[in-house]
Amino acid sequence: MNELARLKWQCRRGTLELDLFLSRYLETGYLSADNEERTEFVQLLKLEDTELLPFLMGERVPSSDKQAHLVNRIRNSVASSCGSVDS
């Protein structure tokens, strides 16, 4: 299984919201991201759904600046393709 297929599988989560956020970013942002952001995305995928969902829904902010930046990029990738997401 190549890296992109593996990541696509890891983007399938326990909620539709997470699936949409993560899959949309993988399709629209991941391929153009630099290596540092790609590494951060892989780390983000290691979080439990209960920890990740509040970040992507804008209810909590990650403590890491790099993670917070990536969460904003993921949220913006969905907002630009599906309408507004409150920031």
Token pair 């829904």: residue: 57
Spell out the residues 6+ positions from residue 75 whose beta carbon is closer than 8 angstroms to its own. 21, 56, 58, 85, 87
If you classify domain 3-7+16-79 with CATH, what class do you get? mainly alpha
Name the pLDDT band for 86 (thresholds 50, 70, 90): low
**Residue pLDDT, tens place only, 3-25:** 899 999 999 998 999 999 999 99
Question: Alpha-carbon distance 25 to 48, whole Å?
Answer: 18
**Residue pLDDT, tens place only, 25-38:** 999 999 999 999 99
Report helix, strand or coil for 47.
coil
